[in-house]
Amino acid sequence: MSLKARILAGTYEPGTRLPAEDELTAGFGASRSTIRQAIADLRAAGYVTSQQGSGTYVADSLPVDPLSPRSGPVYTGFLDDLDNEAHHVREQRRSRRVVSADATLAAQLRIPVGSKAVQFRGVRVRDGKVYGIATDTLPADVAQRIDADVRKRSATIVDALEAIGCRAQESLQRVEPTTLDAASAKLCDRRPGEPALAITGIAYSMDGTPIDAYTLTVVGGYGIGLHLVRAGDWKSP
């Protein structure tokens, strides 16, 4: 997971050679067999390739589109935690509109420029408290399966995706400070220009297809807790 995070952050860029086994062993404080297993797992997942007698290289085309080179640290975790959180939240005042993919959205969803996508936007509420705005943009062929009935019985668009069999397998997020624009501030009963936190990302299905380009704008005063452990200290229940 640490090696994958470094690849996605641009520390090891596509096409470049990973450090030698001895260097990785020393750097991670891990055994040679652990390093070899990690590389084998990354190779099987499509993140690296190995060339006999030359070494291991970051794949030219990665399963998950990386952040911009040298973006800063990428921390790894479990999507199950986010799925569990979704059971405690609801989206209100949800809207739906068809949009035309510009170059950025087309690259994110791997669809042609100018093709149609569907954008859902809703106010996120947890325990009766408004904490932000969720914007999910889906490829048209995925969105068309989320009909009114699916939306009605799904607390969030994440739930709706799972209901139609499009459960996200992997996601890469960027977290950055932002301010509330007028429309978001009005929905959250806040003032325009107030500080907020923007969590943007792409969710991928089991086969590596992008299914959701999303932004969650979290208003000030809502905290997110992190439980951090060292990988070597984690024990399976």
Overall CATH class of domain 2-58 = mainly alpha
First to last CA, the chain: 20
At 137-178, the pLDDT tens digits run 999 999 999 999 999 999 999 999 999 999 888 898 999 999
Q: Longest Cα pair distance anywhere in the chain, in angstroms?
A: 62
Our measurement of the distance from residue 54's CA atom to the centroid of its chain's CA atoms, rounded to an integer in Å, reads: 33
Q: Which run of H or of E encompasses 66?
A: none
Record the tokens describing residue 158, joined without a space.
Answer: 């994440």
The boundaries of every CATH 1.10.10.10 domain in the chain are: 2-58
Model-level pTM? Answer: 0.82
* Upper half-sphere CA count for residue 213 (Cβ side, 13 Å): 19
Residues paired with 203 in a beta bridge: 171, 212
Is the pLDDT at 230 greater than 90? The verdict is: no
- 79-219 in CATH: which number? 3.40.1410.10
At 181-202, the pLDDT tens digits run 999 999 999 999 999 999 999 9
The boundaries of every CATH 3.40.1410.10 domain in the chain are: 79-219
pLDDT at residue 215, rounded to an integer: 95
Average pLDDT in the 62-78 region? 79
